[in-house]
Amino acid sequence: MLEALSLGVPMVAVPRWSDQSTNAKLVMDVWKMGIRAHPNEKDIEGREEIVRCIKHVMEGEEGEEVRQNARKWRELAKKAVDEGGSSDRNIDEFVSTLESIAPK
C-alpha cells in the first residue's frame, strides 16, 4: 500500500485480514485515492466487481478525482522523504535520540 501511495497509483482495495480493512478505509475515505471492492453473497469479489472498481478509478469524473488525489499523495510522500522533509527530520531525530541514550 505504501508503494502505491508513494508512486501515486490509484488503488482497488480488497481487504481480507488484519489491518486491511483499516487500510481500505484510508484509501477510500481519507486519502480518496481508490475504491473498495465489495464481496458477493459468497464473500468473493467477482470479476464484474473488480472490473467495476477498475473502471471507477480509471474513467470518468470520479476517476479523475481519484487520480488527482493519488498524484497529490505522491507529491506529499516525495516531499516527506526529501532532504529536510518530515520523514528525513524524524529519522535524524530518532538517530540523535538513540545516540544520546546509547552507552559509550
CATH number where 8 lies: 3.40.50.2000
Q: In this structure, is residue 67 part of a structural domain?
A: yes
Residue 73: its pLDDT value, please?
A: 96
Q: In this structure, is residue 97 part of a structural domain?
A: no
Q: In this structure, is residue 104 part of a structural domain?
A: no
Q: In this structure, is residue 94 part of a structural domain?
A: no
Q: In this structure, is residue 63 part of a structural domain?
A: yes
d(CA 23, CA 64): 21
Residue ranges making up the domain that contains 22: 2-73
Q: In this structure, is residue 98 part of a structural domain?
A: no
Residue 21: its pLDDT value, please?
A: 94
Based on the structure, what is the number of domains in the chain? 1
Residues in the chain: 104
d(CA 34, CA 7): 13
Residue 95: its pLDDT value, please?
A: 96
Q: In this structure, is residue 85 part of a structural domain?
A: no
Cβ contacts of 51 within 8 Å, gap of 6 or more: none
Write out the chain's pLDDT in tens, 104 residues.
889 999 999 999 999 999 999 999 999 999 999 999 999 999 899 999 999 999 999 999 999 999 999 999 999 999 999 999 999 999 999 999 999 998 87
Q: In this structure, is residue 87 part of a structural domain?
A: no
